[in-house]
Amino acid sequence: MNQQSHNQLVSFVWRIADDCLRDVYVRGKYRDVILPMVVLRRLDTLLEPTKDAVLEEVLYQKQEMHAIELDDEPLREASGYVFFNTSQWTLKKLQRTATNSQQILLANIEDYLDGFSSNVKEIITRFKLLEQMRHMADKQVLLDVIEKFVSPYINLTPHDIEDPEGNTLPGLSNLGMGYVFEELIRKFNEENNEEAGEHFTPREVIHLMTHLMFDPIKGQLPPVMTIYDPACGSGGMLTESQNYIKDTGGVIQARGDVYLYGKEINDETYAICKSDMMIKGNNPENIRVGSTLSTDEFSATRFDFMLSNPPYGKSWSSEVKYIKDGKDVIDPRFQVDLADYWGQKATMDATPRSSDGQLLFLMEMVNKMKPVGTSPLGSRIASIHNGSSLFTGDAGSGESNIRRFIIENDMLDTIIQLPNNLFYNTGITTYIWLLTNAKPAARKGRVQLIDANLLYRKLRKNLGDKNCEFSANDIQQITDAYLAFARIEREIDANNDPVGIAVQLFDNEDFGYHKITIERPDRRRAGFSAQRIAGLRFDKSLREPMEWLWAEHGEHVYQPGFLKEQAKAITAWCEEQGITLKAKQRGKLVDTKYWAKLRDLLNTANALMDEIGTEETTDFNAFRNRVAKAIKAHQIKLAATEKNAILNAVSWYDETAEKVIAKRHKLSRTELDDLIAHLGCTTDDLADFGWYPQPDGSYLTYETATDLRDSESIPLKDSIHRYFRAEVKPHVEEAWINLDSVKIGYEISFNKYFYRHKPLRSLEEVTQDILKLEKKADGLIADILGVDVARKLESVE
């Protein structure tokens, strides 16, 4: 079907809505009728030629076989498709025999719809088509709509026909039907100001993905191929992949069988995809409805190829309960085995933040890869993502763990940066990720980054956010660059602007880094005072409401039951102050025993102040020992947390004070050797890791000043200790490396790798532009700058 016929067909169908539904539906609801009717009419035209054969089979089973329930298999053979209709009706017959009674017509239509096989009935249910039929019958437009769809001036059959004037109406192939369908979806979504891209990936992007997916192995395709899309939408990626593989005029021309699988959460889009599968002769049972993240529908299946454009920037909070139990991941698809800095393997979280689930779809596909041991080609994945998948999430986070697992297992092949405004529903930069678990030798251990951000041609008219597209030449250029696997420098035009494509190659380790914590010793001044210990009466996390209650009621807060009587007032006050309390915090606020416990702590601090005095000291170590001796001498029972609360209340950081000792360690030779081996250093370097040698052979470790704590990200290819000595130690002499804090992270920054600085214009050029503008400003700039414009222009020129 040529482009002109395609456009005419779309326009004809589009006009049906305005002609028949204008006074029955609001404009945003036209699609609820038109899309399912297009599907219904297409299925109807496919079944028309074999209608008599199906009815004969129905008669045979009922009269000859005395069947109570019809056998589906012979009916499918009679229809020639995986679906059938056992009623006497077709849409044309319904239209021809219709009377003025909408109720009779509706009854016949219900009989017609009920005659479909179960797979079509499910589609009808998902579309809520019967409800729409009843509504149209009630509004007296049902027959009008049917007449439009069986009009001799529209051809939804796969064969050429002639209209009443003798003009040929080209047949609509299965591929053409898919184009019509998706164009209607896009137009309806655009009309309703919805996100067309949720259901529709631009055709040229899918073409690029199929080239990247199949061209590298075009001579090695297996005889049976499976293709999967975990967010299949209306099935565009699946059917385009199949078309590309089976295209007799293309570069692939595979003779093998291709089986398509997909899952879609949206009922309407699922119905579209499933009907498309049926129309094109694929098995509709391989398309499932529901959330890919909540249920592992294909848990026992592994696929050769996977393509997807999952939703990005979309919350998966409603599905967290199926994936995590508290902080524990319970779905094995989203767990990965990774080694820590010392090589100890552990199962780690591979879930991103709940506000964006796109990487979960990538992990779903990684989980469905075929092992190379059972399939020499393994599996190949092409997935579209926005920029957050490249760099969001710090070392040790779920996002970073996902990137790390994919890269360290040498599955990341290539990432391609696409132009902005290429998609219908977003203007942001997007990327195609290409993964495989069977890299050829030349690509092993390496990753290719392609910046195709400047390859596009402008559209004459914007389609939503989409204002550009790939040409066939752009697709070929990107594919050639991918296959070449060689560095390409960006070209620069006469205006010193970058143009064309750029390619860089990296080792896997180039994207990894060690995230380490840099510590500094705590230095504290200490001294008791009534003002400092007064805060012990209140819980730090509840200080505001507790101070308010104390100011309002004083000693009454210690009377049994009093605070519970104030519960409503407390809640109201907190709401007025914008303070949100959890149930446990609310319980503490009205718990008299908890208030009394804090009062006892304050009384203890007062007793210690009387014992020790209020003199300040810069030696917190000696001060802490005095407090400990006083507690022991007076046999005061304090938990460690309570003792620390008192000490923290009466001490504060002072850079002139002594370092606070955490512990003095007396190490045996074996313990020292183990420590050195663990840290990977020599005895002379132990201070760089927070172990400070003393004259008596012991080692001191110091408490850390949490407010001065810092972190550094060090490339995997660099040495942590070398980096520390070169980049940190010269600036902060008393800092040390907290090696036990090391986490391994991975991120990919296209800006860092492809950024090209454009030199600023010269001062003379800028001055000339300003002064030329000055001529139009009636001397305003000259007055401000105090210059003679004409003379300055003369000197510049």
Answer whether residue 728 is part of any domain.
no
- Distance between CA atoms of residues 84 and 54, nearest Å: 8
Q: How far apart are CA 292 and CA 435, in angstroms?
A: 20
Q: Give CB contacts under 8 A, 24+ apart, made by 715-720.
A: 715/509, 715/510, 715/512, 715/513, 715/514, 716/509, 716/512, 716/513, 716/514, 716/744, 717/507, 717/509, 717/510, 720/514, 720/516
Residues of the chain with pLDDT under 50: 1, 195-199
Q: Is 534 contained in some domain?
A: yes
Angle formed by the axes of helices 543-553 and 567-577, nearest 10°:
130
Shared domain for 255 and 130, answered yes or no, is no
Query: Do both 156 and 207 map to the same domain?
Result: no
Residues 183 and 312 reside in one and the same domain: no
Q: Are residues 302 and 179 in the same domain?
A: no
3-state helix, strand, coil in the chain (%, to 5): 50, 15, 35
pLDDT of residue 775: 72
Determine how many CB atoms are found less than 10 A away from the CB of residue 420: 16
Q: Which of 614, 636, 653 is the last residue of a domain?
A: 653
Of 485, 515, 545, which marks where a domain is finished? Answer: 515
Q: 747 is written with which tokens? A: 């991120």
Q: Look at the block and give the residue holding tokens 């779905």.
A: 331
Look up the domain containing 431 and give its range: 197-515
**Residue 120 belongs to a domain:** yes
Q: How far apart are CA 435 and CA 416, in angstroms?
A: 12
Burial degree of 458 (CB within 10 A; 0-12, 13-18, 19+): exposed
Q: Report whether 518 contacts 648 (CB < 8 A).
A: no
User: CA-CA distance, 717 to 508, in Å (whole number)?
Assistant: 10
377 and 479 part of one domain: yes
Q: Residue 655 and residue 525: Cα distance in Å, rounded?
A: 9
Q: In terms of domains, do 557 and 441 share one?
A: no
Torsion of CA 787, 792, 793, 797, to 10 degrees: -160
Tokens 């001498």 sit at which residue? 633
In a domain, 749, yes or no: no
Shortest CA distance to 82 belongs to which of 67, 72, 90?
Answer: 72
Q: Are residues 378 and 485 in the same domain?
A: yes
603 within domain boundaries: yes
Q: Examine the domain organization and report whether 183 and 232 are in the same domain.
A: no
In a domain, 571, yes or no: yes
pLDDT over 70 for what percent of the chain?
93
Q: Is residue 606 assigned to a domain?
A: yes
Domains held by the chain: number = 4
Half-sphere exposure of 418 (CA within 13 A, CB side): 29
Report the pLDDT value the prediction gives residue 785, as an integer from 0 to 100.
57
Report the predicted TM-score, pTM, of the whole model to 2 decimal places: 0.84
pLDDT at 195 (0 to 100): 47
If asked whether residues 389 and 258 sit together in one domain, one would say yes
- The torsion angles phi and psi of 653, rounded to 5 degrees, stand at -70, 135
**In a shared domain, residues 250 and 131:** no
117 found inside a domain: yes
How far apart are alpha carbons 379 and 198 in whole angstroms?
Answer: 26
The pLDDT tens digits for 242-267 are: 888 877 555 655 567 899 999 999 88
Neighbouring C-alpha atoms within 13 Å toward the C-beta of 211? 19
Looking at residue 206, which CATH number applies to its domain? Answer: 3.40.50.150
How many H helices and E strands in the chain?
A: 32, 27
d(CA 583, CA 576): 18
Q: Note whether 178 and 213 are same-domain residues.
A: no
Phi, psi dihedrals of residue 373, rounded to the nearest 5°: -65, -30
Query: Quick check: helix, strand or coil at residue 367?
Result: helix
The stretches of 336-427 forming alpha helices (DSSP H) are 358-367, 388-391, 398-408
What does the pLDDT read at residue 35? 86
CA distance 567 to 553: 13
Q: Do 394 and 416 share a structural domain? A: yes
Report the run of H or E that residue 434 belongs to, with start and end: strand 430-436
From the CA atom positions of the chain, what is the Rg in Å? 36
**Which of 515, 536, 565 finishes a domain?**
515
Q: What is the pLDDT of residues 492-547, one digit of tens each?
A: 887 778 889 999 999 999 999 999 999 999 999 999 999 999 999 999 999 999 99
